[in-house]
Amino acid sequence: MNEAASVRIVDLNHDGWADIAVLGGGRWRIAQPDGRIIRVFHGSSRGFSAAGFTDLGVEKAVEIAAADFDNDGADDLAVLRADGLVTVFWSETQRQDVHLPGNVGLCVAGGDVDGDGRSDLVVGTSGEALWAVRSGGKRKWFPPESYSAHAASQVVVGRVDDDNSPDLVLTRFSSARAAGGEQAGAGQGARDAVIVLWGRSAGTKGPLFSRDRQLRLAAPAAAASAIGDLDGDGHNDLAVAVHQANGTFNGKSRAWLGDGKRGFREVTGGFRTSGTTDVAIASANKVGSRGRVVFCNSIGGRYDEAVPVHVYWGGRDGFDPERVWKIPFQSGYESSAADLNADGHVDLVLLNSGHSHTDTPGKNTLGVNIFWGGKNGYDLEKRRSVIHEHYLGTSSVADLDRDGWLDLVLEAFAPKGRVRSTSCSSITVLPRGMATVAGCSSTSRGTLRSTSSPISTTTAGWILLTVRGLSTPSGSCGDNVTDFLSNGHRCSTWPGCWA
């Protein structure tokens, strides 16, 4: 499977055994159909096999849902698309396109929204509208309806209270991504609450759902919701997957116990979770028994990468875990140590890669941080120099030009993209895997020597060489000019970026 994003349970071959439908990435094998691949693993009396599957292709697929839309006893598959369509698979060979009012859909769900016993299509959007396409039976659909609502990346259809009218639970979440594609916490658009839209009461007129009939439950970083009876009292409850806490993925997901009359009592203490992305409830099967809630955890640690750098002091007896200096830092990626300015004291080079965020409280120290050593040790605030550059991954120190002064080599990583090598006056596009590395050395008379040569590499980066001072010219990579030693020696450098 490639780039698996969503999983649903269906029965597309109508054999009575559940199949697993997985929404993946674009076609990655020659024999696969065009579009984004949905791999359906066939269930049987012996379970599942990694080799027993069928690949379905859908252009511009966004999300999937499962429900028995035609009431034939087998769950069908609905695929939301970015072009304003929902493709419904009645089987592995039969499909039908359903038209939506627009192309801003974020999620799709299947469920009975009007209480007629048939599963309908519900689509959450990025705007202030919610769409429903009600089933007319026999694989026919009524025209789509639009309701005044809220943006939603997940919609759950069910009865939250006891009035027998279907309700909707809306969650809006988006995930930020680091430079390498890793999870980086909640992104823009994530809502700090879960919203219940109460269904229209029987015998009344008006739209099935409206933001005028809603309940808002505060839940920052809520990623998903589920409906079910947790405490066995015969009334449905709500469970909410909370993705993160303040600065860390480790947090607490939440649950509210319903009384059937639209009143809720939150479960004290919540549930310890980490990077939670989804939740499901197995309801109590009878009054007095207990239900189960399952949270899907994905990652731990800090999403802002605010993790201190540890320096372990050596001694005659080696190293002791208690003999450690913790330097407050963000996105620490790599380090080097050497006496860069030849004053007899070791200097420390730490790289803040900006891997997670480039516009956070750590942005002021983004790039190369040089902590200058002295006879009294280090002063993290007063003797600290910063070269601002994104996505640095490696540093090395050596006297490359054999002039008696140490040079500093910096290399960046590129998660993806084309090759670009920049100098003070030109930009050159290079073949993938090749790059021009340029360096300079300043002499005591202020003159510059520069070198440039192609290298073969699979990473991305730039190189910086200097003798008495480090500086970078203002340019396309966001560099600037700095005289680190304040002694009049400045060094212009050429950063070259490649992939």
3-state SS string over 95-107?
A: EEEEECCCCCEEE
Beta-strand runs (E) in 243-331: 250-258, 264-266, 271-274, 278-282, 292-296, 309-315, 318-327
Residue 202 sits at the vertex; the CA angle it makes with 201 and 204, to the nearest 5 degrees, is 75
Confidence at residue 306, expressed as pLDDT on a 0 to 100 scale: 84
| β-pair partners for 370 | 349, 385
Q: What is the mean pLDDT of each run of 10 residues along the chain (499 residues)?
A: 94 96 95 96 96 96 97 96 98 96 97 96 97 96 96 97 96 80 77 95 89 95 97 96 90 96 96 95 91 93 85 92 91 90 93 71 81 93 87 86 87 54 28 32 31 32 39 35 37 31
Model pLDDT, residue 357? 60
Rounded CA-CA distance 418/412 in Å is 14
Which residue from 306, 398, 406 is spatially nearest to 356, judged by alpha carbons? 306
> What is the C-alpha separation between 379 and 377, in angstroms, rounded?
7
**CA dihedral of 340, 342, 343, 348, whole degrees rounded to 10:** 20
- Its pTM stands at 0.74
Token look-up 């303040």 returns 246
Measured in whole angstroms, how far is the alpha carbon of residue 488 from the centre of its chain? Answer: 45
> Facing residues of 56 across strands?
38
Within 10 A of 61 (CB to CB), how many other CB atoms are there? Answer: 23
Residue of 57, 25, 65, 20 whose CA lies nearest to 42? 20
Query: Can you read off the two tokens belonging to residue 393?
Result: 């991954």
C-alpha closest to that of 439 among 414, 412, 408: 408
Residue 426 pLDDT: 28
- The residues pairing with 98 across neighbouring beta strands, listed in sequence order, are 86
Using CA atoms, how far residue 285 sits from 227, 230, 291, 304, in Å, is: 14, 10, 7, 42
Backbone angles phi, psi at 122, to 5 degrees: -125, 130
Backbone φ and ψ for 311, nearest 5 degrees, come out as -110, 115
- Residue 232 Ramachandran class (φ > 0 left, ψ -120 to 50 alpha, else beta): left
Yes or no: say if 28 and 39 are a contact pair by the CB < 8 Å rule. Answer: no
Q: Where are the beta strands (DSSP E) in 90-236?
A: 95-99, 105-111, 120-125, 129-133, 135-137, 140-141, 145-148, 154-158, 167-171, 175-177, 183-186, 193-197, 214-218, 222-228
Cβ count near 286 (within 10 Å)? 9
Residues whose CB falls within 8 Å of the CB of residue 46, separated by 6 or more in sequence, listed in order: none
Q: How far is CA 51 from CA 83, 85, 158, in A?
A: 32, 31, 36
Token pair 């579009």 is found at 35
